[in-house]
Amino acid sequence: MIGRRAVLTLPLAASCARRSAPPPGVVVTRVTFERAGARGGPTRATVLSPPAGEPLPVLVALPGRGEVARGPAAAADGWLVDYQLDRARAAAARGVTREDLGGLVTDARLRELQARPRLRGLVVVCPDIGDILAAPRRLDACEAWGRALVEDALPEVRRRFSTASATGIDGVSLGGRAALLVGLAHPEVFSSVGALQAAVRSPEVPELVERARGWSAARPGGALRLLTSDGDYFRPVIDELSRSLSASSVPHEHVVATGPHDYSFNRGPGGIELLMFHDEALRRAP
C-alpha cells in the first residue's frame, strides 16, 4: 500500500531566490515527501519536466557530496542550480556543441555525441539523499533510503506527472555510488542504472559485481553504465569495477570522458552524458 500523498510546493520561480524564473522549455516543481522522509528516504525533490504532453520516462538524478553536506534543500537543487542541468537539457535537445561541453571533450567523443539521437524528453527527479552521508561507509547504507524512494516517492511522482513506467537512476560522485547501490538493488523498478565519477572504494567492488549480476539477470536488456574521466581521482577503482563486471559477463558500458572531478565536469559533459544515455536507454526499455 502506498503511503500518504506528498505535499507539492510552488514552482521554482516562487520558491527559490537563486533563480528568477524557470528555464524555458522546462517546468520546475518542488515536491515534499512526508512518508518517505519519515521512513529514512528523501524528504524533498526538485522535479524537471517538459510542458504537458505524452507520458515520459523518469530519471532519478542524485547529487554529490558537496550539495548533500549543505542539507536537503541544497541536495535537491544540486542538479538544477549547481550543475545547471537546464543548460544540458537544452543542448541535448538541439544538438551538442564543444562549447556546451565546456571544451571538455575529444574530437572522437564529440562526434559520437552528435551522432546520437537528440533528447526527446525525461521527467528528471532530483531528490535529497537524506542522512546517507552520515551513515557508516558500508554497502547497506542506502537500503532504507532506496526502499522509501521506490515504494513511496516514485509512485507519487508518477501519479502527479503522469509519467511512463520506464525509470532510470544515476548520480555523480557520492550520488553515483548511491545510484549503483539503489539501482542494482531494485531491478523491478530501474531499467537503466548509471554512475558518473562514482565515489566507490576497492573493497566494495566484489559486492557491487554480485549486485550487478543479480540486476542483469532480473532485468534482461537493461542498460548499465560507468562513466569516469581522465581527471577523476576515482577512476582507478571504476576501471577495476568495469574489469570485474566484464570478467563476470555483466553487460555494461565503461566510458572515460574528459575533465576533472569538479563542477566544470558536472556542468559540461556530466549533465549532457547523463541525459543522453538515459533518454536513449529508457526509450528502448522493455
Residue 22 pLDDT grade (very low, low, confident, very high; cuts 50, 70, 90):
very low
Domains of the chain: 7-283 (3.40.50.1820)
CB 179 within 8 A of CB 79: no
Q: Give the whole-angstrom CA distance, residue 75 versus residue 91.
A: 23
Q: Give the whole-angstrom CA distance, residue 178 versus residue 195.
A: 9
Nearest-Å Rg of the Cα atoms of the chain is 17
- Cell 521512513, residue? 39
Question: Is the four-CA dihedral 233, 236, 237, 243 of positive or negative sign?
Answer: positive
What are 166-214's pLDDT values in tens digits? 999 999 999 999 999 999 999 999 999 999 999 999 999 999 999 999 9
62 bridge partner residues: 171
Q: Enumerate residues 6+ apart whose C-beta is below 8 A from 220.
A: 286
Q: Give the whole-angstrom CA distance, residue 256 versus residue 265.
A: 12
When mean pLDDT is compared across 135-139, 268-272, 278-282, the lowest value belongs to 135-139
| E-state strands within the chain | 7-11, 27-32, 44-49, 58-62, 123-127, 167-171, 192-196, 223-231, 253-260
Instruction: Return the biggest CA–CA distance within the chain.
Output: 51
pLDDT at 4: 33
pLDDT at 50: 86
Q: Give the whole-angstrom CA distance, residue 170 versus residue 151.
A: 18
**Is a pLDDT exceeding 90 seen at residue 116?**
yes
Q: Give the whole-angstrom CA distance, residue 35 versus residue 161.
A: 19
What are 73-84's pLDDT values in tens digits? 999 999 999 999
Angle at 48 between CA 44 and CA 53, to 5 degrees: 130
269 CB-contact burial (10 Å; exposed 0-12 / middle 13-18 / buried 19+): buried
Cell of residue 158, nine digits = 508518477
Q: Calculate the alpha carbon distances from 100 to 87, 90, 117, 160, 272 in Å.
A: 8, 9, 16, 32, 8
| Percent of the chain at pLDDT exceeding 90 | 82
What are 24-71's pLDDT values in tens digits? 678 999 999 999 999 989 999 999 998 877 899 999 999 999 999 999
Give the predicted TM-score (pTM) of the model. 0.90
Q: Give the whole-angstrom CA distance, residue 86 versus residue 228.
A: 22
